[in-house]
Structure 1
Amino acid sequence: MFDENIDAEKEEAFNEFIKEYGERKEDWTIYDNDWHDWDDLFCEIKTHWNTKAVKYWREKILKRFVYSLPSVSNPTSLFHVLLQSNVIYLPQLISLIELPYYPLELRSEIWGPSRT
């Protein structure tokens, strides 16, 4: 009975995580507790969304994405519009990038090795 409750709680938490960030089987599964580390990191990113480090990371990712679009005639304008509006949030950013294998790698990419 006790194990069933833990499994149900774990599954419910995982389902909430998937609902917010999307399902990426190559990055997280319910059978692998690494998704907890991703959840912690994403919560930290949301908390620091408008700080200098996270803004820089967002801009770097968006720039890479926008400039990879082949049919955009003026990618600079699109890039600036995306940055000035709040239309792109964490789930959208995650869908644009190829995540590192470990959450620590992404944390280091955003805040530098001293923060990991």
Structure 2
Amino acid sequence: MASPSTDHQDSDAPPGRERPSRLIDIAVGLLFLVADAVIVVAAGLLFVMVGMGSAEPPHSVQPARSRDVPVLAWLVVWGVPAVAAASAVVHARLRMPVTAVVQGLFTLVCTLLAVVWTRMLLS
């Protein structure tokens, strides 16, 4: 019986699943980096605009009012970090380390933004 080829003997991956090239990993990571930066800047600007629009004048003596926050707002605020985390896990499983790191950092930033948005929505 013939022995398996030497290129599959040292590999940890199953024979049918190859790792993407490093160049593809870097290109996808850069694309995600640009897209993630646009998302973070847009979320930050939206936070500032909504926060300034809902701010009351400093000498205002209005009673505190309760606002109901729609479920869709909560899904968006906490859904983006969840999707980013899923993307980081998927890219790590695809053995794309650069893209997985970019998505992992994006997950951290999205989680911090979600905490800030939650505080703003609850105040």
TM-score, normalization: structure 1? 0.24
TM-score, normalization: structure 2? 0.23
